[in-house]
Amino acid sequence: MSLNPFGFIGAGGNISRAILSGILQKDYIKPKNIYIYDLFPEKCEYATKSGVTLCKDEAETAKGCRYLFLCVKPQQMDIVLERISPVLRENHCLVSVAAGITIEHILQKTRKNTKVIRVMPNTPLLLGCGASALCRNDAVTDGEFSEVCEIFRLSGEIETCQEEQMNAVIAVSGSSPAYVFKLAKNVAEEGERLGLPYDASLHLFAQTLIGSAKMLTESGMTADELIQMVCSPGGTTLAALSYFDAHEFDDTIRGGMRQSVQRAEELSRGE
C-alpha cells in the first residue's frame, strides 16, 4: 500500500477510470489520499462514491498530490500544463498517458527538472488485463518509478522501455485493441453470412482470441510454430492463410501500424 497522495486530471475518462478502479479495488491507496478533477464532474461519481476528493480545478488537484496523473487527450495537454505549472514543487512526479506528448515537451511547459513518467496503457485495463509500457526521465528515482509501475500492475501487465520506443508501443499495444475488435467484428459478421448466428460467432471467436493469446504467452512456441500447428497440408486453415497472403494481409497490418506511429509523431509536433 502506498501512503503518498495521488492526483488524477481527466478522472472521468476510460483510462483514468481503469487505473483508479484497480487502485480502489485492491486498496493500494486509501481514498483520502486521492485527489481527482475532470471538466465534467458528473463523470467522476464512480470515484467520489469511494471517498476520494473531487477538486475544483487542475491546480487544486496538483497541490494536494505527490504523483499527478495527466489522463487527458494530447490536444488538451498544453492547457493542463499551463494551469498546473505555477503550483508544481520539486517532489512532484507527473505521469502522462497522452499519446505522442514527449517528456521534453512537458519539461518545456513546466521546468527543466520536472520528474516525468510517460505511460502508454490500453483499454483492457478496464477489465484488469491491460498492457502498459512505461519510460521516465533521469529526474525520476528508482523508487518513484517502481511505485508508478506497481499502479499499472494492478490492472494488467507492464513493460519498461526507452522513450524513443514509445511510438512503436502505441502501434503495438496502445492502438491494437481496435485492430482486434475490427477483426472480431468482421469474423462474426461473416460467420452470420455463412449461417451461424452473430452472437454465437462472436462468442466462439472471442474465446479463440483468449486461448490463442495464452498459447502465445504460455506454450513456449513461436508465432510461426503455432501457425504451423493449426495448418494441415491442403486443409481449411491453409486455404484461408493463402487467401490472406494473396491479398496482402501482412502488408495491410504493417501499414496500419506505421500510420499509427506517423500520427503519434504528428501529435508530438502539435499537429
SS3 226: helix
Residue 199 CB coordination number (10 Å): 11
Residue 145 scores a pLDDT above 80: yes
C-alpha dist (Å) from residue 200 to 93, 187, 192, 195, 240: 47, 11, 9, 11, 21
Phi first, then psi: give them for residue 270, nearest 5 degrees: 80, 20
Which whole number is the average pLDDT over 143-153? 96
Supply the angle between the helices 249-268 and 236-246 in degrees, to the nearest 10: 50
Q: Using CB atoms within 10 A of its CB, is residue 136 exposed (0-12), middle (13-18) or buried (19+)? A: buried
Average pLDDT, the chain: 94
Residue 103 scores a pLDDT above 80: yes
pLDDT bucket at 125, cuts 50 / 70 / 90 = very high
Residue 123 scores a pLDDT above 80: yes
Residue 183: per-residue pLDDT: 97
Distance CA 49, CA 31 (A): 10
Residue 61: per-residue pLDDT: 96
Domains of the chain by range and CATH?
6-161 (3.40.50.720), 176-268 (1.10.3730.10)
Cβ atoms of 12 and 43 closer than 8 Å: yes
Distance CA 227, CA 212 (A): 10
Residue 48: per-residue pLDDT: 86
Which whole number is the average pLDDT over 145-160? 96
Residue 25: per-residue pLDDT: 87
Which whole number is the average pLDDT over 152-175? 95
Distance CA 24, CA 163 (A): 29
Residue 3: per-residue pLDDT: 76
Cell reading at 259 = 500510420
Distance CA 221, CA 224 (A): 8
Residue 2 scores a pLDDT above 80: no
Q: Using CB atoms within 10 A of its CB, is residue 106 exposed (0-12), middle (13-18) or buried (19+)? A: buried
* pLDDT per position as a tens digit, 19-77: 998 898 888 999 999 999 999 989 988 888 889 999 999 999 999 999 999 999 999 99
Residue 100 scores a pLDDT above 80: yes
Which residues lie across from 96 on neighbouring strands?
Answer: 70, 118
* pLDDT per position as a tens digit, 235-259: 999 999 999 999 999 999 999 999 9
Percent of the chain whose predicted confidence (pLDDT) is above 70: 100
Residue 137 scores a pLDDT above 90: yes
Distance CA 232, CA 99 (A): 42
